[in-house]
Chain A
Amino acid sequence: MSVTSNDTPVAAETPTGTPTGTAADAPADAPVDAPATTAVAVARPGRRRGFFAGGRYIPYVMILPAVVVLIGVMAYPLYSLFDLSFQNVNRYAQLVNPGLAQYIGLDGYTKVLGDGQFWNVVLRSVYFTAELVVLSMVLGMLFALLLNRVSKWAKVTVITVLMFVWAIPAIVTGTVFRWIFASKGGIVDYVAYLFGGSESVKSYDWFQDPVIGLYVVSAVVIIWGALPFLVIGLNAALTQVPPELMEAARLDGASTLQTFRHVVIPVIKPFLVITAALSFIWDFQVFAQIFALRNSAPEPGYWNIGIYLYEKGIVSSHYSSSSVISVAMILLMLAVLVFYIRQMVKIGAQD
């Protein structure tokens, strides 16, 4: 099962140019992989083969630059994030004069966790992420299935359009949709008017009420940007489902829904897990689209955890408070993603 997972759209592409390229397509992948795995296994100290035989220190030298850089820009900042979260650096003055900063233990945490706004933001993020992940996965799956049903030319047309959508940067997406949903001259309002709205519909302000602005407009914008990856990826996964399996299920009298539920879903499940996890990661920390949509100053009603962090930390210099928020954000994400990491490690262990 997990062999299919990794190989669905991935391996079909990866081996371009490798000598094993032609043979390495999905079904024949297991036997092709085997020599490579043994090559790694054989490469025990003393019996190392091929390029760089001998020299125990060589791999460490090779990963050294990566390790140094990642310690500098990731590990150390992470450490100082926790360090900062136990201090009271909540003004710019305390930042430039470290003498003014003090360790206050868990006081920073009680302060942030005792703040009603923090919980509002966390809840809003959870709801918003759930809405985005569910809607984009369902829509992505429906359109992926649709692409399997339509004529070739229609499929090519859709995929071409999707590629262009995929290429649009998030900030640009936000900027363009701010214009599309504008209350003066916005095309959405005008189309609504053409379809029988009154004159006042022409100047309807989509952003007046943050609930609509976030859960409707921002959601549309973010899902619009997410669909190309999901539709193209899921469609590629669907084409990996062996037609014989579907045939067999139908001959045995399974209904369409049953075939989908008991044949298609299990086969593409590994890919579904990865896509859902990626969607979760992207949607939970979404920032640029909302930021651009709200003209670089999102109102508090639009604050998800990312924007809250930015407003607290960068805009109003509450460095310690926003560190606490960051810690909460990381923990929330890791809690959800533990199962995903397990899955990826399993896949990684195979090749």
Chain B
Amino acid sequence: MAATDVHAEPATAPAGPAPKVRLKARVTGESRVMTWIWNSVALAFAAVMGFPIYWMIITTFKTNKDLIAKDPTFWPSSFSFDSYTTIFDDPGFLSGLQTTVLITLGSVLLGVAVGFLAAVAVARFNFRGRNFFIVTMLVIQMVPLLAIIIPLFLVMKSANLTGTILGVVLAYLVFTIPYVIWTLRSFIVNIPAELDEAAMVDGCTKWGAFFRIILPLTLPGLITTGVYSWIQAWNEFIVANTLLSGGGKQTSMIWLTFYSTTPTRGADYGAQMAGALMVSLPVIILFVLFQKKLSAGLTAGAVKG
């Protein structure tokens, strides 16, 4: 619908006398009225998309009376922070947050370090098996993690890693490493070999060239992949839930998912929304800070949602 009308407008225009002006008008200036109509459609779209976030946030500030009222209100009659007190008083919240932070940090650092090494090898060397390695990285990204969850659980169990943070960190490397390799590879390929040659001619050692040339030039890529891996690890639910089951530990996402399963909390949507907001805040902040880099990186090689 939008597609046809957008360009239908100029099609009726080309009756004017001056061809040069007409040409310009076609590209940019469709009629003002139509622009306003499309602007309002876009704003309506933004409002619909943004509403669930607004609703989550506004619910956290509602008083108990507002929450259990038969007719929901679009604006709280008075602001209350009770939902936040409930959440912060819950022993699972902070310990879940702690577990999530540890798992996330571990998988980001390990994943980027291991992936970076392999990416340099793939980008700078033409070794036997290189293409096989690259294609394998691509295919691995497509194997649904959910499909190997049971053998993964069994492997971790036989290695005594179920219920531990290390087990989950290792499992997350399945999706961070291939992504890091695939993305960093294109960064490193764009650094001409002449550059580190020149550095070595000028007296740099091999490692000097690595730390002074390759590393700084790949830094933007390292940040992109790091932030992306961070978000993936932070948001992951099913693997963590399976591998940590029975170990007494839980991540924030597990805590949030099961928070509402007890009858007393099931109807307390104020607390649930406060929990939901708190748990996603670190990701939202990262996302907004790095949005440009992320949207580019996501289209580049990301396969996991």
Q: Residues on A close to B: CB < 8 A? A: 8-20, 24, 32-33, 35-37, 39-45, 48-52, 56, 58-60, 62-63, 65-67, 69-70, 72-74, 76-78, 80-81, 84, 95, 141-143, 145-151, 154-155, 157-158, 161-173, 175-180, 182, 184-187, 190, 202, 224, 227-229, 232-233, 236, 243, 247, 250, 255-257, 259-260, 271, 274-275, 278, 281-282, 284-288, 291-292, 295-297, 306, 309-310, 313-314, 319, 322-323, 326-327, 329-330, 333-334, 337, 341, 344-345, 348, 351
Interface of A (DSSP majority class): helix
Q: Is B75 an interface residue (CB 8 A)?
A: no
Q: Residues on B close to A: CB < 8 A? A: 1-4, 6-8, 10-11, 23, 26-27, 30, 35, 38-39, 41-43, 45-46, 49-50, 52-53, 55-56, 59, 67-72, 114-115, 117-118, 120-127, 130, 133-135, 138-140, 142-155, 170-171, 173-174, 177-178, 181, 186-187, 189-197, 200, 206, 209-210, 213-214, 216-217, 219-221, 231, 234-235, 237-238, 242, 245, 253, 256-258, 260-261, 266-267, 269, 272-273, 276-277, 279-280, 283-284, 286-288, 291-293, 295-300, 302-305
- Of the listed residues A40, A48, A141, A142, the one surrounded by the most CB atoms of chain B closer than 10 A to its CB is A40
Q: Is the CB of A313 within 8 A of B149?
A: yes
- Of the listed residues A9, A11, A37, A70, the one surrounded by the most CB atoms of chain B closer than 10 A to its CB is A70
For residue A310, give the distance in angstroms from its CB to the closest CB of chain B.
7
Q: Is the CB of B150 within 8 A of A319?
A: yes
Residue from A18, A56, A161, A163 in contact with B187 in the complex, judged by beta carbons closer than 8 Å = A18
Q: Is the CB of A77 within 8 A of B3?
A: no
Q: Is the CB of A256 within 8 A of B11?
A: yes
Once the chains are docked, how many angstroms separate the CA of A326 from the CA of B154?
15
Q: Is the CB of B206 within 8 A of A141?
A: no
Q: With A14-B187, A39-B193, A345-B138 in contact, do A274 and B42 touch (Cβ < 8 Å)?
A: no
Q: With A81-B147, A179-B273 in contact, do A169 and B118 touch (Cβ < 8 Å)?
A: no
Residue from B124, B147, B195, B216 in contact with A43 in the complex, judged by beta carbons closer than 8 Å = B124
Residue from B148, B242, B256 in contact with A171 in the complex, judged by beta carbons closer than 8 Å = B256
Of chain A, the residue at the smallest CB distance from B213 is A51
Q: Is the CB of B35 within 8 A of A12?
A: no
Once the chains are docked, how many angstroms separate the CA of A148 from the CA of B196?
43
Residue from A9, A50, A73 in contact with B196 in the complex, judged by beta carbons closer than 8 Å = A50
